[in-house]
Amino acid sequence: MRKKAKKLEFVSRIKADGSGTEPVPKGLLENDLFLNEKLKITCLSISNGTYIAIGFNSFVVKLK
């Protein structure tokens, strides 16, 4: 499934080395180019309603 970034609630960004997560930079969430990007969505936890969104970076997200 693919969703535009503006249709997602961002929980955190997954570090590039896979060692954990970090807060999503505010500037990224205010960038129109990023918000219109379609990200690939994969289920992370059904009980928590979280997904991994993959594009240039990877994020933990919830659907709005």
Provide the β-strand partners of residue 12: 60
pLDDT at residue 3 in the model: 97
Identify the band that residue 51 occupies on the pLDDT scale cut at 50, 70 and 90: very high
Q: Which domain holds residue 21?
A: 2-63
Strands of the sheet with 50-54, listed across from one edge: 2-4, 38-45, 50-54, 58-63, 8-14, 21-22
Count how many domains the chain has.
1
Structure tokens at 44: 């992370």
Q: Rounded to whole angstroms, how far apart are CA atoms 47 and 7?
A: 20
Supply the mean pLDDT for the chain.
Answer: 96
- How many other CB atoms sit within 10 Å of the CB of residue 53? 27
pTM of the model: 0.91
